[in-house]
Chains A and B, each alone.
Chain A
Amino acid sequence: MTAPALELRDVVYRYPDGHQALHGIDLTVERGERVAVLGPNGAGKTTLVLTLNGILTPQLGAVTVSGLRVEKENLREIRRRVGIVFQDPDDQLFMPTVREDVAFGPANLGLRGVELEACVATALDIVGMSAAARRSPHHLSFGERRRVALATVLAMQPDVLVLDEPSSNLDPVARRELAEIVAELDVSVVLVTHDLPYGLQLCDRAVVLDEGRVVADGPIAELLTNEPLMAAHRLELPYGFGVPAPEGQSVASSS
């Protein structure tokens, strides 16, 4: 198939209370591409995420996933194609055991028996959590819970993986482990974050979102070194971080 993994055309979303969160978003993510969606708090990142699988329906514009439009009659297939890993794993892991949680999505898709078990086993294996299958999510560390949350989505074999602030609350090792897992996956990834070094580590391209608009779209290293752009949208690299220049020298960070 040649259709892009994800395509948003002029997407407008206004909450019932009148607050307009998205003011016409255009965004295309090709197959296998990893794109960071950067933006300050309140930029509309989470709203954008929820329009991708039809939880929120835009008032205007269209979202298509691998050529299939996000509409009511397609929601089942859309939700298989778009896997969202939410910020708080305790929201995502609601079943009594890890195994049952990972099985929840594929079971909703109609998988049963041996097929379901194989699907669960594969997903847990990818994130390195096979040994925890029979444990309760509450007994896992935060990093482990986030990996299981990723597995619950991978079990549905999505075309697009959407990660909402995946690095939040992770210790440095868990953070690296998660990045290694994501880098190995053969799916398109939308990484929603304000953790800029994490975006830089995992993605080649970035989109800057502010006040519900895409204000920049390009190679992530270029955007992160564009100081006026960054400053205008309340983004900056943390103290001591720089974007490695192509020849291996560090370009000064914007601080």
Chain B
Amino acid sequence: MGGAHRHLLIHEEGPLHRLPPQCKLAATVLFVFAVVATPREEFWAFGVEASLVVLAALIGGVPLWSIAKRLVIEVPFLLFAVLLPIVGRQPRVDVLWFSLSEPGLWAAWNIVVKGTIGVAATVVLAATTSIPQLLSGLERLRVPRVMVGITAFMIRYADVLGDEVRRMNIARESRGGGGGRVGQVRALASTAGTLFVRSYERGERVYLAMESRGYTGTMPDRSTAATARAWAVCLLWPAIGATIAAIAWSVR
């Protein structure tokens, strides 16, 4: 069964799990903005921001090693950053036995540190908020309901479609299909076509089922309001982040 999203949530009921999703979402986005706005020369500021994320993870009962593991998702983006010191402009500095570009090194550091803290913050969010909660949070934050609806359907049916693809592949291979490279590509193309038709038909049946239960064009609002206290608790984090960024700018 596909669906990595299933494993993102850590099923330990921590204090962060109980906070309203819209507050956590808004806090995470604002916090990432604060990190991005921090000047890259002030190393200490990133240290404080990183410790904020670690603190949030500890409060939320998210094991730090699991955050470290999930940071691997960043790697393809970091590969780009690694190139910058090599191909960057003058002046160049000697690091060990390489001659590297100084602006390139700064740019790479900028990407790596901000990317890592940002991804770590979203990992904490994803580990403490289930997908349905995230969806209702988005809805509460006034993301158009149609878009939230489309996302919800996508998540709901990704696994169903995955199963369908697997069954079609098994059926094909059972009849001796597969074979060489060319054969596989051809089979894949026809699978995609069949899958499209099947998904389209399923879409129609789902719509019939929705209509049968009184659907008239708007999804029911599933979100609940958050208390001012919850907002305050959540927004404290980006507030600290923004303060640090501001201090970093002023002492620079």
Contact = CB atoms under 8 A, between A and B. Distances in A.
Q: Which of B202, B214, B215 has the most CB of A within 10 A?
A: B214
Contact count band on A: 20 to 34
A126 interface: no
Contact of A55 (B153, B160, B211): B211
A45 B74 CA distance: 54
A79 B212 contact: yes
A79 B211 CA distance: 8
Contact of B220 (A55, A80, A82, A104): A104
Nearest to A113: B224
A28 interface: no
Interface of B: 3, 131-132, 135, 152-153, 155-157, 159-160, 202, 205-206, 208-216, 220, 222
Contacts of A252: none
B213 A91 contact: no
A94 B205 contact: no
A63 B8 CA distance: 49
Interface of A: 50, 53, 55, 76, 79-80, 82-84, 86, 88, 90-92, 94-97, 100, 103-105, 107-109, 136-138, 152-153, 156
B209 A86 contact: yes
Nearest to B160: A90
Contacts of B220: 103-104, 107-108
Nearest to B213: A105
Given A91-B202, A138-B156, A96 B213 contact: no
A43 to B, nearest CB: 19
B214 A108 contact: yes
B156 A137 contact: yes
A95 B214 contact: no
Contacts of B159: 138
A197 B173 CA distance: 36
